[in-house]
Every structure is written in structure tokens, then in C-alpha cells.
A and B are shown apart, each in its own frame.
Chain A
Amino acid sequence: MNLARGVDRVMARLPEGPTAVKDEALRVLAEDGEVNRTIGATGAQLLTDLVDIDRLRIYTHCNAGALACVEWGTALGVVHSLSAFGPTGLGIRR
């Protein structure tokens, strides 16, 4: 799904030449990073609003970190952003 969407989006710029293709491809990458960081910041803010940071325990499965994204991560991206607030208990199940 995402694969086809990424291809289509850049393919649409083909008629405009290689530079447009390169710009669009890099924009796809940059947007993914931005979206991830926004997810991370929003999620981290929400969690710290809801729960005392010291009592926060996070349980996650499946790799939703930077490995699955261009950078930062989605679900683990929240944890990534949370690390700015302090150490958090984290369990990962593969």
C-alpha cells in the first residue's frame, strides 16, 4: 500500500524531468521524518499529561521504531520523544 503510494507520487513528477523526481523522492523521505516527529511529540505530551512520568510503563510489540521508517519511528517514536522527559520503563516483545 505505502509502497505503491510512494511510487505513484514520485512517478507523477516524471514528465517534469529527473530533478523534479529527485526533489519529490526526497520530499517523501523528509515528510515521513516530520510526521514521525510530530507523532512522537504529540504522543509523548499526551502520555505525560495522563500519567506521572515516573509511573509510566510502556509495553510494545512489533518494530515501530526507526527501522520501519525513514527515521525516528511511529509507536516507538513516541518512546523516542519521551526519552527527552527522563528514563522510562520499557518492555519490547518481538
Chain B
Amino acid sequence: MTMTVWTLSTSDGPLRAQRVVLATGACTKTRIPNWSGRDTFKPPLIHSSQYRNPSAYRGQRVLVVGAGNSAAEIAADLAEARDVTVEMAVRTPPTILRRDTHGVPTQPVGIALRYAPPAIVNPLGSRPASHRRFPICPVYGLSRPKAPYSQFQRTGTVPVLDHGFVAAVRSGAITIRTAVMALDGRDVIHADGFAILPDAVVAATGYTSGLNPILGPLGLLDDRDLPTIGSRGGPEAVGLYTVGISIPLSGLLERSPSTSAAWLRAIARLTAGPTMGHDGHALVTEDRRYWCGASTGWMTMSSCSIRPACLGRSGGWRSRPVDELVDAIRRLAVRGAPLLGAAGALGVLLAVQEAKQAGWDDSTAARCRSAAAGRPGRRR
């Protein structure tokens, strides 16, 4: 008999919780690719988060690596300084959108398109009309992405909102190069074999969630180090949730407040006492009302009914939900007359859901009865 209980190693020692909400952000750690020869590279190499202004680069040749918003804005900022030679290494050509169209800002459009299918959204970024406005590709080394929205979904690369970047590329102030393949002493070697000798490199190569040490061993990260479970949790890790650790097209600030507020309300409902602890890494709620909580308790239970909490990492059923509930009642994990009433009601529902999966037969009623008597039912 096991209930899913998470043990967290924290700076304050171990914490046990039945629900864990990770809300540590998608961009916690800076990321610079481990280019071959990076340790031999002599010129200053900084991450875009360290970039402030062009003053440090007067009269220099600067390579900006990346094609996201940071890269485009830093390149444009450097190009504006006139006496800086700006080059940009682009691996995946970005979708470039105007910041606004006739005064209508682009960001809310992204929000509105959040749930639209790719077939509708894709043409918007590569439509010939907008392409005519930005004829920077392929003449200037930027080929036009074929399906920008699918690219976003696949790579998490958000569109570049143009702040003068396009004009700088068209005027020749920014030279587009291919992706960085290797560094060697003072040389930067590009994917097409071309090598340049920049005085400085700004790596606008993004961020990671920094969750690899925590979620990596559990197999809950995708190839961009973003969690595969969201604020609604998932059957693969019952009781584990993440809030705001994603890169939505609409921008992080648009969605996170509502999800986090919903979570705070849920936590406030669940914690009757001072059972909420937190450290730098996780917000933890120790919730003993696993089976019979209010709305979030229901959420956990419904995911149990699909693939129960007792499904071990190694696979296979360790026990059945009704048995777990009965066990929880016997261990006095479910206490209090009103809560027991609710537990009984949900126990019947669990038995019915079990029956739906395993096939309805005479034992269903017996298992319901077993919930009433507070003892495990006979197993088939």
C-alpha cells in the first residue's frame, strides 16, 4: 500500500509532501552551448544577460550568437552605435513580426492565438504581405521560416518583435552569419566553414529552467529542460505540479498570474494549519486530505482513476485505489466524521471507476461495501 508522497531534499533538510508545486521559472539559469574549443577562446564571451550597452564595444567587431529577441535587440543596439561592427550567428531563422500593425500591438494577438490550431496561425508569420514588408531573407542570409507557429511549438523560439533589427540588417549594419560550430583561440568557426575574428562574443543563447538536477532523474523534462507536467499535473507524477515553467507564445506574464492565483487559493483551502513550507526551490504543501479534498483533491483523485497514484515507477499496479482509500481510513489519515462521509462517497465512485476499467461484475458492489466497512476488499 503506498500513497504518492514526495520527499524533497531542501536546504532546510528533507520535507515530505503529497503535493509539490514547482514555481521556479523557465529562465532560471543562463545557457551557453558547450562549443568545442570554448576553453581555448581568448576574446571576452558574455551571456546576453550581462550585456548592458555598446560603450564597452566601441571600435570593435562583435559577434552576437542567437536569433531570439535578445539577440535581435542587442545586435540592433550595437549597430546603432555606428562604430561597432556587428555580426550575428543564426542557426534557426526567426519569425520576425512587427511590434505593432497600424497601432495594434502584436503581443495581444499572440495571447488571442494561444488556442488556435497551427494551420490557422502558421500563415500569419510567413504571409507574403508581411514578407514584403521585411524583405531581409534570403538576400541577407535569413531564410524565411516555413511554419513559424509549428517552429515555436517545436523549439520554443518565440517570434522576434522588430525594434529596428530589420532596418539594421537591410542597411548592412548587421551581417548575418551561419551558426557557430566551434571556437578556436581567436577564431569563431561557422557552420558553413567561414571563420571570423571577433573582438567579443555576446551569446544570446537563452536560458534553462535549471530543473535538471530535480526533475531530470524522474524523466519529467523535455529536451529543452522544461517540465512535461504543468499546473494540472499529470498521471506520470501524481501530486507534482509546475506553475509558470513554460514558454507560452503569449508571454509568461500573461498566463502565470491566473494559474498561480488559482494555486494559492487551492493551497489556502487545503492547508488548515501552518503546514506550508518553502525554500528557494519549491513551494510545498503538506496535504493530508489526499482523497477528500475540495477541488484539487478531486483533481488528484480523477488522475488516480486513470492511472493511480500507486502505479510504481517500475510499472505495474501496487494496489487499487479503493484499497488505498480503505488503508488511509484505517491508518487514520482520513479523520473526522464529515470527512469520512465524503470519503465513503468518493470510495464508491473509485470502485465504480475501477469497475469501468476492469469490467463491471459482482465484486463491484462488494468493493463498495468494503469501503463502507473500512476494510480492504477481496482481490480478484
Interface residues in chain A, defined as those with a beta carbon under 8 Å from any beta carbon in chain B: 1-11, 14, 18, 21-22, 24-26, 28-29, 32-33, 35-36, 63-71, 73-74, 76
The residue among B346, B353, B368, B371 with the most chain A CB atoms within 10 A of its own CB is B346
A14 to B: closest C-beta gap in Å: 7
Chain B residue at minimum C-beta to C-beta distance from A12: B348
Q: Are A6 and B272 in contact (CB under 8 A)?
A: no
For A36, the chain B residues whose CB sits under 8 A away are 338
Q: Are A3 and B346 in contact (CB under 8 A)?
A: no
Among the listed stretches B9-17, B56-64, B94-102, B329-337, which one makes contact with chain A, having 4 or more residues with CB under 8 Å of it? B329-337
Distance A7 CA – B349 CA, assembled complex (angstroms): 9
Q: 23 A-B contacts, Cβ less than 8 Å apart?
A: A3-B341, A4-B372, A6-B340, A10-B349, A11-B348, A11-B372, A14-B365, A25-B345, A25-B349, A29-B298, A63-B335, A63-B336, A66-B270, A66-B272, A66-B289, A68-B336, A68-B337, A68-B338, A69-B339, A70-B339, A71-B293, A71-B294, A73-B272
Q: Are B346 and A25 in contact (CB under 8 A)?
A: yes
For B336, the chain A residues whose CB sits under 8 A away are 63-64, 67-69
Chain A residue at minimum C-beta to C-beta distance from B288: A67
Chain B residue at minimum C-beta to C-beta distance from A1: B337
For B368, the chain A residues whose CB sits under 8 A away are 7, 11, 14
Distance A9 CA – B368 CA, assembled complex (angstroms): 11
For B335, the chain A residues whose CB sits under 8 A away are 63, 67-68
**Contact with B343, one of A6, A8, A33, A65 (Cβ below 8 angstroms):** A6
- B contacts with A: majority SS: helix
Distance A12 CA – B95 CA, assembled complex (angstroms): 59
Q: Interface code B9-51, partner A: CB below 8 Å = 1, 0 otherwise? A: 0000000000000000000000000000000000000000000
The residue among A6, A14, A26 with the most chain B CB atoms within 10 A of its own CB is A6
Distance A63 CA – B335 CA, assembled complex (angstroms): 9
For A33, the chain B residues whose CB sits under 8 A away are 294
Interface residues in chain B, defined as those with a beta carbon under 8 Å from any beta carbon in chain A: 269-270, 272-273, 288-289, 292-294, 298, 329, 335-349, 352-353, 356, 365, 368-369, 371-372, 374
Query: Do A32 and B338 form a contact, CB below 8 Å, given A26-B298, A67-B272?
Result: yes
**Contact with A29, one of B269, B288, B345, B369 (Cβ below 8 angstroms):** B345
**Contact with B341, one of A21, A32, A65 (Cβ below 8 angstroms):** A32
- A contacts with B: majority SS: helix
For B343, the chain A residues whose CB sits under 8 A away are 3, 6
Query: Do A18 and B356 form a contact, CB below 8 Å, given A6-B343, A73-B272?
Result: yes
**Contact with B348, one of A10, A29, A65, A73 (Cβ below 8 angstroms):** A10
For B344, the chain A residues whose CB sits under 8 A away are 2-8, 10
A39 to B: closest C-beta gap in Å: 10
Q: Are B338 and A67 in contact (CB under 8 A)?
A: no
Q: Are B292 and A29 in contact (CB under 8 A)?
A: yes
Q: Are A66 and B269 in contact (CB under 8 A)?
A: yes
Distance A33 CA – B298 CA, assembled complex (angstroms): 14
Distance A14 CA – B273 CA, assembled complex (angstroms): 37
Distance A11 CA – B368 CA, assembled complex (angstroms): 7
B330 to A: closest C-beta gap in Å: 11
**Contact with A28, one of B329, B342, B356 (Cβ below 8 angstroms):** B342
B289 to A: closest C-beta gap in Å: 6
Distance A18 CA – B371 CA, assembled complex (angstroms): 17
**Contact with B345, one of A24, A35, A76 (Cβ below 8 angstroms):** A24
Chain A residue at minimum C-beta to C-beta distance from B371: A7
Distance A11 CA – B338 CA, assembled complex (angstroms): 18
Chain A residue at minimum C-beta to C-beta distance from B347: A7
For A28, the chain B residues whose CB sits under 8 A away are 341-342, 345
Distance A28 CA – B374 CA, assembled complex (angstroms): 18
For B293, the chain A residues whose CB sits under 8 A away are 70-71
**Contact with A6, one of B273, B342, B353 (Cβ below 8 angstroms):** B342
For A9, the chain B residues whose CB sits under 8 A away are 345
Query: Do A10 and B345 form a contact, CB below 8 Å, given A18-B353, A66-B272?
Result: yes
For B340, the chain A residues whose CB sits under 8 A away are 2-3, 6
